[in-house]
Every structure is written in C-alpha cells, then in structure tokens.
Chains A and B, each alone.
Chain A
C-alpha cells in the first residue's frame, strides 16, 4: 500500500560493489557501441559509465559490471551476473530457460501454464514456490539476488515485495520491460524489436550477451519465415472473462502477433494492451476468426462453451463456422514464445482453410 510511506532513498547497499571492471585487451570502443546498439534502442539498457565491453579477440561480448539499467523507471544496478533468481509468471521463466540460465533460477512462481516442450527438461529441475504471486517473505526466504517479474504489479508489498523494499534488502528487481506501465516506458505499440531487446538486456544482465544475440537472430529468422495470412481476416483476441470479455487491444503483444500473422484486430482502435470490451461491439464487428487464449485456469474449451451458450455470440460467424485459433496463455504475453505463436496462428488458419 501507501507508496509515500516507503522510503525510496533507503537503498542500503548490502552487496558491496564488486566492480569487476574487466580490462579490455584492445580498447574496443566500437564493439562497445555495437553492443549498445545490439541491446536495443538507446532508451533501454544504458550501461553505466564504468561498464565496458571486452572481448579477447573473439566475437563474444561480456558485460562490464556494475551494469545499471533503467527498468520501468527504476534504476537497477547489477554488480555481477545474478546467481539466484526468483521468476514470477511464465514469460520470465521461459526467457531465462531460452538463454540456458535455468540453473540460476532458485524458484519460479505464478506460472500461467506448462513451458514449451523443448524447455520441459530444464523446467522440471526448477522448484515452483507458488501457483500465485508469492508473499515477500516467502520470496526473500530463498535469498534471491534478483526477482524477475512479468508484471509490475507482482512487485508490491502485498506480492513479492515493493521494489524499493527489495532494493533496501539488497535484492535487485527486474520487470519485463514490455509490461512497464509508466507512460514514458510503456511500449506503444509493442513491437518485436521491444521483445528482442528484452532478451538482449537480460542477456547483458546475466553476462550471456552472445547467447542472447544467437537467440534473437534465430527468432528474427523464424519471424521472417512466417507466411503472413493474406485473406484480410478480422479477428478477436479473447483472453478471459465471460460477462465482459478481456481482449487483446491496440498496442500490446496480442496486436503485435495478430499483425504479424496478417489478422486485423477488431479492438485495434482501443489504445491499450488488453482491455475489457463489451459483447455488443464484438457482435457488431462480427470477426472472421477468434483467437482463444488457453490457460489452465481458463481453458480454450471453456471459452468456446461461453461463446456457444450466449445466444448473441452463438450467431457470430467465427462461432458458427468454428473458426477458432488457440494460443497458450504464456505465449500470449510478450516473450520468447511470440514468434512461435505467430507461426502457429498462421498454420492454424491454413488448417481451417482460411
């Protein structure tokens, strides 16, 4: 609660700065610049002045610590690569697993569904501390040096701990930049570049920039290989809710993926990431396709049942023709699964003969 009651200045540095500034063999100023470029737009990760990139004649870029990033308006300084991470939500866990950092995760929480098959083995070794947002004491009991959260609201006193409180205890926090809510930080609209720059920033934080670059290159290649649907279909991204559905709106991950798949979002004019949208306007727009988000707590099947039970929505073209496309919940939020989700959507559309 009470934001002003918290002392923002109380940043007890329990971790003494272990500034391991690596001396570069060659003053690779140009490489440093290219790393900064690689790690996304200039607005996101800004390595502190002491940060230096070094390379010993190879093309691997290592991170110079301390590394300071401006994360949703909170400055976070890493004195070394985080060793013990608590992840909250699926996207954060999956990003770390995709970067081969599973052994750094001491606990995961509030996952939205199973990890993709290729991460299943790595994920099996990770302790799940809570199916929901864990309390701050339960989080801190694992003695993490980083809490990596999918939503800003995971990091509150009622949740895993307020960011200032965590910082005061010497625990860094990092929120998926795509989920920043502050006007100046909220991606508007979210693009694949934003998604990739998160991967690069996390790569830099964990000193695995080379792996991040590989992963991004792979994702860019896969994204380029997607055959966009050319039929000019309109679509509804149905995330949750029954009385008033919660749908993908104009500037978030759903819009980004629908656009990449060639679908026209009927809620594109709503200037938000996700938004509540009344059934009346959905029925009025009569989308050709409905993208159903499949979560364990709110399955695609239950959404189909809702759509078919309501006399108004039962008459929608997409419902009558069963033009449903399914996306697993974790893939519906900005993260490493978005590219796969886009190609899965186009594949499913093709299977439907659309």
Chain B
C-alpha cells in the first residue's frame, strides 16, 4: 500500500514535469503575472468616475510617498489617496487571499469544487460580520468573521465526517447544507433588525463590495495575506502529497489529520479576514486556481503563488469595472465576479474535457 502510494506520487510528479515543460515554466508565469499585477495597480488607480488624468493621479500618489507636490485640489487628492488607492490595494489583497484559500481547499479536500463559498466559510464569516454590523455586538469585525468562518467550517467537516469517511462528495454536500443554514441565519438577522432602507447597504455587503475599503481595510487584508497567506504558501509540498489521498500523504510522512485541520483553519482565518473587509465575493476562490492549473499543471509550488497573483489581478479589474461601468452608480463587485466567473468556469470545464 505504502509502496504503491509512493509510486503513484512519483509517476504523477513525472507526468507533471512533462506537462509543465510543454508550456512556459512556472517562474516565467510568475514574472509575467507580477508585472501584470504591478501594471494593473498603476493603471487601475487612474480610472474612475471623477475623470482625473493619469498624470494628476500619479503626481498625487507620489506626493503622498514623499516625492514632489500634488497637482490636484485637496478633495481630488483625497479621491486618489483616501478612496482609490486603498481600494485597489484591498482588491489586490482580497483577490489574492481568496484565490489562495480556494486553491488550498481544493487540495486539502481533494475536491475541484471546493472554495470558500462552497464549504460554508463565506456564509459563516457573513453571519459573524452581520452580527457585528447589524446587532452591534462589540467584537472586532475580522475576528467575528473569522469565528463565523471557523464555526461553519467545523460544522461542514463534522457533518461530512459523521456521515462516514470525509470524502470530497460528502464535504461538498455538507458544505451546501451548512451554507444554506448560515445564509438563512444571515437573512434572518437582517430581516429582523434592519430598518427601512438599510436593507440596501447590507445587500451590497452580502453581494461583496469594496466600496468602503480605506486604509484600515488595506491593513487587515494585506496583513492577513502576509501573516496567514505567507505560511500557507509554504505548504505546497504537503498539498502535493494530499492530492493522492490520505493514505499516500500519510505514507509521505504527513500527519494527515493535524495538517488538514491546520490548513483548513488557516484558510478560515484568511477567508474571515477578507470577508470582513469586502463582504462575500464569490467565484474567485473557485475559478482562478482552475485557470492557473491549466497554465502550470497541478503542482502546488507553482499553483499557490500564481493563483494568488491571478486573483489579485482579477479582482482589481473586476472592482474597477464595478465602480466605473455604470457611473455615477456603483455595483457590488460580487455581481461582476459572478457574471465573469461563471462563464469562465464553463469554458474551463469544456477545455479540461478536451485536454483529457
């Protein structure tokens, strides 16, 4: 059994090497995506309903970084530095965090459909956040969201485990059940407590929105990405082992249960932090790891960082669309990610069929 497991892993590794060598090496993709991310940030801050020129926007930003003087009025300078810049950076961090969380969950649960949404993390985090926002319970929002995410994840795994061995299918079904219940609890709290037209605000939040992202949101999302996402990136090898089943992973020296809980706890923390600043934005955790896998193959050492980069770029542009497409109105960005993410996922399904 052990020997057989080893062989499978080795074969898969070899197959992976063969496959990735056909396309560009992961390092090249990493450079390309990093450049694209930097370019996206640079360009996205210059786009917005206020119609500021790129030169003015960058003069403003450079002035805040200590170079030169802003050419804009204080209010327009505020649009750039207090609204757009933190929003773009938050979008990047949230996109990266969600994509990373999705990639890890897909590996740990060996389920291509796993993402923070599907396993109940997002809806759990929403319950936590809505309790703070609507009921005014005084806990820090990210912690409430994290606690909610953890509770939901716990329910999902316990339910999946109670039904027998934790299999991918059981995990998804349990996640669906937990998501529905937590979604209903969120709706109940809102329905019960929201007065008059404050529904709108909460609806925006439930759909996912970066409209309120200012510097504190940057601190939370970037902080969570560095503190939690960083260590998670280092788990790539373990995740490769997980890909071939618990038995194979154990054979490779992985303490399966402990590692699974540690990784899932980490993703819960990451998701909770992201949901607390952006609401629950769907599809990023599901779609982007799949898209990246098509580029680099399933090896997690490439998949994790590249998914994070791709997630960052994707959410920056989705949010730019959300705040400019229907100027002067804004859309919740979750609508855009779902509108784009759904069809992209469909294309991925069709492509993967052709490849296999």
B212 touches A2 (CB 8 A): yes
Instruction: Write out the residue numbers on chain B whose beta carbons fall within 8 Å of the beta carbon of A2.
Output: 129, 133, 141, 205, 212, 217, 276-277
In the complex, what residues of A have CB within 8 A of residue B212's CB?
A: 1-2, 5-6, 156-158, 162, 165
B285 contacts A by Cβ under 8 Å: no
Q: Restricting to A81-136, which residues have a CB under 8 Å from any CB of B? A: 109, 129-130, 132-136
- Which single member of A134, A143, A273 contacts B329 (CB below 8 Å)? A134
Cα distance A181–B196 in the bound complex, in angstroms:
9
Q: Which of A5, A132, A272 contacts B216 (CB 8 A)?
A: A5
A141: contacting residue among B51, B140, B205, CB under 8 A: B51
**Residue B279 is within 8 A (CB to CB) of chain A in the complex:** yes
Q: A137 to B57: give the CA distance in the assembly, Å.
A: 14
A137 touches B201 (CB 8 A): no
Decide: B50 and A14 in contact? CB cutoff 8 A. no
Instruction: Specify the chain B residue showing the minimal Cβ separation from A136.
Output: B83
Q: Mark A163-180, 1 if CB is under 8 A from B, else 0.
A: 001001111000000000
In the complex, whether A33 has a CB less than 8 A from a CB of chain B is no
B202 CB to nearest A CB, Å:
9
Given A1-B278, A135-B323, A158-B211, A169:B75 Cβ within 8 A: yes
Bound complex: CA of A31 vs CA of B140, how far in Å? 48
Contacts of A140 in B (CB 8 A): 50, 75-76, 78-79, 83
Q: A3 at the A/B interface (Cβ < 8 Å)?
A: yes
State how many angstroms separate the Cβ of B91 from the closest Cβ of chain A.
14
- Considering the chains assembled together, what is the distance between the CA atoms of A130 and B326 in angstroms? 11
Q: Which of B177-223 contact A (CB under 8 A)?
A: 195-198, 200-201, 204-205, 209, 211-217, 220
**Complex: how many Å from CA A4 to CA B327?**
27
Given the known interface contacts A143-B76, A170-B74, the answer about A5 and B277 at a Cβ–Cβ threshold of 8 Å is yes
- CB pair A137 B79 closer than 8 Å: yes
Residue A151 interfacial (CB < 8 Å):
yes
Q: Does residue B332 face the partner (Cβ distance < 8 Å to A)?
A: yes
Q: Are A169 and B78 in contact (CB under 8 A)?
A: yes
Minimum Cβ distance to chain A for residue B45 (Å): 12
In the complex the two chains form, is A1's CB within 8 Å of B279's CB? Answer: yes
CA gap between A135 and B49 in the complex, in Å: 8
Known: A168-B82, A181-B195. A5 touches B214 (CB 8 A): yes
Complex formed: what's the CA distance from A5 to B141 in Å?
8
Chain B residues within an 8 Å CB radius of A181? 195-196, 198
Are B49's CB and A137's CB within 8 A?
A: yes
CB pair A171 B327 closer than 8 Å: no
- Interface residue B265 (Cβ < 8 Å from any Cβ of A): no
Contacts of A272 in B (CB 8 A): 195
User: Does A7 touch B at the CB level, under 8 Å?
Assistant: yes
Q: Which chain B positions have C-beta within 8 A of A132?
A: 329
Contact B328 A129 (CB under 8 A): yes
Does B16 reach chain A (CB closer than 8 Å)? no
Tell me the smallest distance from the CB of A352 to a CB of chain B, in Å.
Answer: 31
What bracket does the count of chain B residues touching chain A fall in?
35 or more
Give the docked Cα–Cα distance between A3 and B140 (Å).
10
> What are the residues of chain B within 8 A of A135 when measuring CB–CB?
49, 211, 323, 327-330
Within 8 A of A (CB), among B201-257: 201, 204-205, 209, 211-217, 220
CA distance A169 to B72 in the complex (A): 13
Kindly state whether residue B70 has any CB partner on chain A within 8 Å: no
Contacts of B332 in A (CB 8 A): 158
Quick check: is B73 within 8 A (CB to CB) of the other chain?
Answer: yes
Q: How far is the CB of A250 from chain B (nearest CB, A)?
A: 14
Residue of B whose beta carbon sits closest to that of A252: B196
Q: Nearest residue in B to A141 (C-beta to C-beta)?
A: B50
B335 is an interface residue with CB less than 8 A from chain A = no
Tell yes or no: B291 within 8 A of A by CB: no
- Measured between beta carbons, the chain A residues less than 8 angstroms from B78 are 14, 140, 168-170
CA distance A290 to B276 in the complex (A): 45
Q: Judging by beta carbons under 8 Å apart, are A138 and B328 in contact?
A: yes
Is A274 part of the binding interface, using a Cβ–Cβ cutoff of 8 Å?
yes
Q: Do A156 and B75 have beta carbons less than 8 Å apart?
A: no
Residues of chain B within 8 A of A156, CB atoms compared: 201, 204, 211-212
A224→B50 CA distance, assembly (Å):
48
A5, A168, A171: most-surrounded residue (chain B CB, <10 A): A5
Please indicate the chain B residues that have their CB under 8 angstroms from the CB of A162 in the complex: 212
Which of A7, A129, A137 contacts B48, CB < 8 Å?
A: A137
Is B132 interfacial (CB 8 A cutoff)? yes
- Residues of A contacting B76 in the complex (Cβ-Cβ under 8 angstroms): 140-141, 143
Please name 16 further chain A to chain B contacts, defined as beta carbons within 8 Å, in addition to the given A2-B277, A157-B209, A159-B201, sorted by A numbering. A1-B133, A1-B211, A1-B278, A2-B205, A130-B328, A134-B328, A136-B83, A136-B330, A137-B49, A140-B78, A143-B75, A156-B201, A156-B211, A158-B201, A158-B204, A168-B78
Question: When A and B form their complex, which 5 residue pairs have the shortest distance between CB atoms, in order from nearest?
Answer: A157-B212, A138-B328, A141-B50, A169-B78, A135-B330
A selection of 28 A-B contacts at a CB cut-off of 8 Å is: A1-B133, A1-B204, A1-B209, A1-B212, A2-B133, A2-B277, A4-B132, A5-B213, A6-B214, A14-B74, A109-B328, A133-B329, A135-B211, A136-B211, A137-B48, A137-B323, A138-B50, A138-B328, A139-B328, A140-B75, A140-B83, A151-B196, A156-B212, A157-B212, A158-B211, A165-B212, A170-B74, A181-B198
> Which residues of B come within 8 Å of A, CB atoms?
48-51, 73-76, 78-79, 82-84, 129, 132-133, 140-141, 195-198, 200-201, 204-205, 209, 211-217, 220, 276-279, 323, 327-330, 332
